[in-house]
Each structure stands twice: as structure tokens, then as C-alpha cells.
């Protein structure tokens, strides 16, 4: 009897061992390595070894195993055309050698994992899914806070930062302490757990970049709010989002998304961070009005009042036609001093057109002493000049920037 039991155990153990070996050989990565080695000549195979490949990046607190499958990423002479056997495009691995930088510091994903879905972080619990294609540019900012030397290598990121300034996002949002607090602080937008976002109206893949990009193109589709008639009696009406619908094209929405994803509270060791170069010289302006236009842009007045103050954004239930007012008529009823006072004090809440309905969501923020005196003087000159042609000496500067979408009254 004992013998029989012993025999049975031995058989079971042998079978289990066999299954383990078989499973191991069926792991995804072994399949890729086998396929890759088959593609090589005997000479090319010289010096290459199989098995799990990893780089331990103590400073970055990461262990990356991506090259277990991406076997030829730094070997262009051996690379094949298909993934995961391609060589890295461009020359970035020369300035960022894998043994010092790994892959996940730029691409995200899950360094330790060895099957494709998990490694690419395209699984529910992982918050940093693989950054594919141009979305990788969102990682450059954490080490290259000064983008000027690498601008041509991160064109979408640069475009996103420029658009953020031109469109006056800072009138409603703040990033690292600069900007108004009318809406969400965006300083850590790039690490917002996407599970916290409402994905009901997002189409395609469920992740942060999809939500952000679709929200830029059609904010009122992604965050629609609810109309009064959909609510039980007595419940307060929620307006659709007052995030402006800018009419962005695909590239502009993608560029802003790359910038948003780059906003993280991540502290890397100093040896990985590129120190900023000397600041650009202060721009010179032909007139106080020109200077004032730059102040208007810097503080994000356009976010609510539109480019060049020509027309307001939608503002549900505001007494002035459901909109933030245009600033062109302002010169008719404000002088310099009263205008300054108004900008410093703001107006909150804005009077309602229908007193039965809630307060309009947008208000004129109180700028207090955030705008330094000299810039306030220039700003006021500019606002009082609106609707008049700018001084003839600077015709080109009076055009809206070419990259900015047409001003909408939405
Ligand atoms: C188990 C094997 C495996 C591992 C490990 C792996 N990958 Fe991949 N990778 C693949 C395969 C297969 C593809 C092609 C299919 C796809 O795009 O999902 C690919 C594609 C990619 C692409 C190209 C995407 C595109 O859209 O063209 C990138 C970038 C990438 N991987 C980065 C990484 C990074 C970074 C890691 C480490 C965190 C990693 N991979 C780990 C197998 C792997
Ligand atoms: C310095 C940042 C950086 C590092 C480090 C880096 N990459 Fe990339 N990677 C990029 C950029 C930028 C692109 C080009 C994306 C584009 O515009 O198409 C890219 C492209 C790729 C592609 C081509 C497919 C695609 O998405 O365009 C693959 C595959 C890839 N990287 C894998 C890796 C692997 C594996 C490692 C680690 C050995 C790695 N990368 C390290 C920045 C980096
Ligand atoms: C983890 C930090 C880190 C990330 C992320 C990173 N870089 Fe770098 N990068 C560096 C460091 C450090 C150097 C200098 C390398 C050396 O020691 O020579 C460098 C060098 C470069 C260079 C060579 C020119 C120069 O300024 O020395 C280029 C170009 C560059 N990076 C572009 C990029 C781009 C584009 C991205 C995003 C896709 C990126 N880097 C992401 C840290 C980083
Ligand atoms: C008139 C005020 C206003 C302006 C200007 C504005 N936003 Fe918003 N934004 C909002 C409001 C309100 C929300 C929250 C409701 C929602 O999600 O739609 C929001 C939400 C967001 C979110 C999602 C934040 C989160 O954590 O849910 C991002 C990202 C964002 N805005 C970026 C931008 C960018 C970039 C610009 C400039 C192109 C901009 N916003 C201009 C009002 C504004
Ligand atoms: C968050 C949105 C928002 C931002 C940003 C904003 N405003 Fe306003 N502003 C408003 C609203 C709403 C009103 C209308 C108040 C009312 O109805 O009385 C207004 C009114 C004004 C008025 C008075 C218009 C009139 O016809 O009485 C001036 C002038 C003005 N804003 C200037 C500015 C300047 C300059 C900036 C930038 C420093 C700025 N605003 C930024 C929302 C904004």
C-alpha cells in the first residue's frame, strides 16, 4: 500500500514538473526570443544569450525587463520590421542609453512584467499605460524642464504648452501656483487615476489620455451635466461643463493632451534632470497697448473673454445673454481707475437672467494684487483700446497667433 502511494506521488510530481516546464517554454517572451534567434545567422547569434533581461535602475527605483521581448531595440543591425523586434526609431537611445535610463521612465508601462499586456500596463489596475507614438513626448518634461534645446524632438509637447498660453487656460485653471482657481488645479493632471474619471461618454479605449483628448475636442459630450427635466423635483440643476468648446483640430487636441499628461509631481534624482539654460531676454513691445496684450494673454483673460476680448464663453443663466461679455464696449463706460478697481475686485456671482435658476457657473475672478502695477497699467490701456485698430507700426503682432483656433463665442 505504502509503495503504491509513493508511486502515485512520484507520478503526480513528475506530471506537475512536466507541466511547469511546458508552461515555462510556452511563456510569451520565450516564444519571441525563439523567433528572434531563428531569424539570425550563426555568426549574428555569437555572444547573445536568452533568458529574462533586466536593468536595475537604483536611482530611478525601477527594474525594467522590456528588452526581454524588445530584443533588438538597441541593435539596428539585427532588427526586424515587426514588433517586438524593431530597433528604436531616431537617436534617443544614444543620449539615453538603456543601461542608465531603461524604458519605462519615458514610455510608462510595468517594468517588471514579462507578458505583453501587463508589461504595457494595459490592464485595469495599472495607472501608467504604455505611452505609444507621440504621447511619449509627455515624459520629456520631467527631466527637460527647459524645452528649448530639445524642442524639435518634442514638437507636440511644445505646441501644447504654447496653446495653453494662447487660449487662456490660466484664466480658469492653475498649474504649479500660476493661474486662477475657477476650476480644477491641473498641476498633477498627468497622474490622475483614470478610474476617478467618468468614462461614460468616452469612446474607444478606457484610459486617461483618451478621456483628456476627447474632453478637449468635445467637453460637453464628455461631461454633459444634467438638465433640470432629467432630475427629480427639488434637485438642483447641474449645467453642462463650462470648459470652453474651442473647436480644436486633432493635432491641437493631441498637443494639449501631451502637455496635460506631462504634469506630474515626480521628483527624479538631480543627475537625471537637465538644468535650465539662461532665461530668454524680456520681449520688447512697440507700445503699452502691445505690452498690455501680452499681459491679457499671460493671465488667461482670453479663457473667458475670448481672443482679443471679442466675445465671451457660454455662461449659463448669466444676465448678459448667457455669455461672458465681450470687452469691446468697455471703453464706453469705464475710465482707467474704475476699470482697475473692477479687475482687482471682480464680480462673483454674476447676476442671473432667470432668478429661478442657479447662479451662472462663470464669474469675474478678483485679481487683487496678482497683476503687478506696471502690467495692470498696460492691461488697462489694452482693454480700453479694444475694437480700435492697433498702432500701424506692428500690424503683424495684432493678428491672432496662426496656430490658435478661430475664436469661438462658445
Ligand atoms: C512579453 C513581451 C513584451 C514585453 C515584456 C514588452 N513588450 Fe512592448 N511590445 C510587445 C509586442 C508583441 C508588441 C507589438 C504589439 C503591441 O503593440 O501591443 C510591442 C510593442 C511595443 C511598442 C510599440 C507600440 C506601437 O504602438 O507601435 C512599444 C513602444 C513598446 N512595446 C514598449 C515596451 C516597453 C516600454 C516595455 C517594458 C515596460 C515593453 N514594451 C515590454 C511585446 C513586449
Ligand atoms: C528618452 C526617452 C525614451 C526612452 C528612454 C526610450 N524611448 Fe522608445 N521612444 C521614444 C520616442 C520619443 C519614440 C518615438 C515616438 C514617435 O513619435 O513615434 C519612441 C519609440 C519607440 C518605439 C516605436 C513605436 C512607437 O511607439 O513609436 C518602440 C518599440 C520603443 N520606443 C521602445 C522602447 C524600449 C523597449 C525602450 C527601452 C530600451 C525605449 N523605447 C526607451 C522615447 C524613448
Ligand atoms: C529621466 C530623465 C530624462 C527623460 C525622461 C528624458 N531625458 Fe533627454 N536627457 C536626459 C539627460 C540627463 C540627458 C543628458 C545625457 C548625457 O548625460 O549626456 C539628456 C539628453 C537629451 C538629448 C541630447 C541633447 C542634450 O540636451 O544633451 C536630447 C535630444 C534629449 N535628451 C531629448 C529627450 C526627449 C525628446 C525626451 C522625451 C521623449 C527626453 N529627452 C526624455 C534626461 C532625460
Ligand atoms: C472658462 C473656464 C475654463 C477654461 C478657460 C478652461 N477650462 Fe478646463 N475645465 C473647466 C471646467 C469647469 C472643468 C471641469 C468640468 C469638466 O470636466 O468639464 C474643466 C476641466 C478640465 C480638465 C479636466 C480636469 C479634471 O481633473 O477633471 C482639463 C485637463 C482641462 N480642463 C484643461 C484645460 C485646458 C488645457 C484649457 C485651455 C485650452 C482649459 N481647460 C480651459 C473650465 C475651463
Ligand atoms: C473665469 C472667467 C473670467 C476670467 C478669467 C476673466 N473674466 Fe472678466 N468677466 C467675467 C465675467 C463672467 C464677467 C461679467 C460680469 C458681470 O456680468 O457683471 C466679466 C467682466 C469683465 C469686465 C467688465 C465687462 C463689462 O461689460 O462690464 C472686464 C473689464 C473684465 N471682465 C476684464 C477681464 C480681464 C482684464 C481679465 C484678465 C485679467 C478677465 N476679465 C478675466 C469672467 C472672467
pLDDT digits (tens, 9 = 90+) for 79-103: 999 999 999 999 999 999 999 999 9
Using one digit for the tens of pLDDT, what is the confidence trace for 341-372? 999 999 999 999 988 888 898 999 999 999 99
Å from CA of 269 to ligand 3 middle: 14
Å from CA of 107 to ligand 2 middle: 7
- Closest-approaching ligand to the CA atom of 213: 4
Q: Using a 6 Å cutoff on CB, does residue 84 contact ligand 1?
A: yes
Q: How far is Cα 292 from Cα 285, in angstroms, rounded to an integer?
A: 9
Q: Which of 88, 108, 152, 272 to mutate to test the pocket of ligand 2 (most atoms within 8 A of CB)?
A: 88
Report in angstroms the alpha-carbon separations of 232 from 226, 237, 357, 367: 11, 10, 15, 38
Q: Could you tell me if 170 and 178 are in contact, meaning their C-beta atoms sit under 8 angstroms apart?
A: yes
Å from CA of 93 to ligand 2 middle: 8
What's the confidence (pLDDT) of residue 56?
97
Q: Is the pTM of this model over 0.85?
A: yes
To the nearest 10 degrees (0 to 180), the angle between helices 373-385 and 336-345 is: 110
Q: Could you tell me if 253 and 247 are in contact, meaning their C-beta atoms sit under 8 angstroms apart?
A: no
What's the confidence (pLDDT) of residue 193?
86
Q: Using a 6 Å cutoff on CB, does residue 285 contact ligand 5?
A: no
When the candidates are 1.10.3470, 1.10.760, 3.20.20, 1.10.287, the CATH number that belongs to 133-272 is 1.10.760
Q: Output the ligand 3 site: residues, CB below 6 A.
A: 95-96, 101, 105-106, 136-137, 139-140, 142-144, 149-150, 153-154, 268, 272, 274
pLDDT at 409 over 50: no
- Specify the domain boundaries for CATH 1.10.760.10 within the chain: 288-394
As a CATH number, domain 288-394 is 1.10.760.10
Residue 20 pLDDT grade (very low, low, confident, very high; cuts 50, 70, 90):
low
Query: Is residue 329 reached through a cis peptide bond, with omega within 30 degrees of 0 on the bond before it?
Result: no
Amino acid at each position: 500500500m505504502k509503495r503504491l502511494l509513493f508511486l502515485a506521488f512520484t507520478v503526480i510530481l513528475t506530471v506537475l514538473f512536466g507541466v511547469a516546464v511546458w508552461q515555462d517554454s510556452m511563456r510569451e517572451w520565450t516564444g519571441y526570443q525563439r523567433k528572434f534567434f531563428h531569424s539570425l545567422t550563426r555568426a549574428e547569434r555569437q555572444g547573445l544569450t536568452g533568458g529574462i533581461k533586466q536593468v536595475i535602475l537604483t536611482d530611478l527605483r525601477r527594474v525594467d525587463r522590456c528588452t526581454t521581448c524588445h530584443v533588438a531595440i538597441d541593435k539596428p543591425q539585427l532588427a526586424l520590421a515587426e514588433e517586438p523586434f524593431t530597433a528604436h526609431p531616431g537617436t534617443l537611445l544614444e543620449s539615453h542609453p538603456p543601461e542608465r535610463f531603461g524604458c519605462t521612465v519615458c514610455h510608462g508601462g510595468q517594468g517588471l512584467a514579462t507578458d505583453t499586456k501587463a508589461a504595457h500596463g494595459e490592464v485595469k489596475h495599472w495607472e501608467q499605460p504604455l505611452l505609444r507614438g507621440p504621447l511619449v513626448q509627455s515624459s520629456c518634461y520631467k527631466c527637460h524642464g527647459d524645452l528649448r534645446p530639445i524642442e524639435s524632438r518634442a514638437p507636440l509637447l511644445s505646441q501644447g504648452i504654447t496653446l495653453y498660453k494662447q487660449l487662456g487656460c490660466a484664466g480658469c485653471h492653475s498649474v504649479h501656483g500660476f493661474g486662477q482657481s475657477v476650476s480644477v488645479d491641473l498641476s498633477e493632471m498627468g497622474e490622475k487615476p483614470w478610474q476617478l474619471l467618468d468614462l461614460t461618454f468616452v469612446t474607444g479605449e478606457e484610459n486617461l489620455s483618451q478621456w483628456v483628448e476627447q474632453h478637449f475636442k468635445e467637453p460637453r459630450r464628455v461631461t454633459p451635466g444634467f438638465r433640470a427635466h432629467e432630475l427629480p423635483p427639488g434637485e438642483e440643476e447641474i449645467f453642462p461643463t463650462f470648459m470652453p468648446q474651442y473647436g480644436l483640430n486633432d493635432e491641437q487636441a493631441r498637443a494639449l493632451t501631451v502637455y496635460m499628461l506631462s504634469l506630474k509631481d515626480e521628483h527624479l534624482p538631480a543627475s537625471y534632470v537637465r538644468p535650465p539654460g539662461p532665461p530668454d531676454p524680456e520681449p520688447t513691445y512697440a507700445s503699452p497697448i502691445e505690452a498690455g496684450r501680452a499681459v491679457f494673454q499671460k493671465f488667461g483673460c482670453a479663457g473667458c473673454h475670448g481672443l482679443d476680448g471679442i466675445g465671451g464663453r457660454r455662461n449659463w443663466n448669466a444676465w448678459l445673454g448667457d455669455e461672458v461679455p465681450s470687452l469691446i464696449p468697455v471703453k464706453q463706460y469705464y475710465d482707467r481707475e474704475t476699470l482697475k478697481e473692477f479687475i482687482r475686485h471682480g464680480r462673483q456671482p454674476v447676476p442671473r437672467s432667470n432668478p429661478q435658476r442657479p447662479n451662472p457657473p462663470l464669474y469675474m475672478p478678483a485679481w487683487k494684487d496678482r497683476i503687478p502695477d506696471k502690467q495692470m497699467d498696460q492691461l488697462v490701456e489694452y482693454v480700453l483700446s479694444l475694437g480700435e485698430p492697433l498702432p500701424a507700426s506692428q500690424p503683424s503682432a495684432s493678428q491672432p497667433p496662426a496656430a490658435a483656433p478661430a475664436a469661438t463665442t462658445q
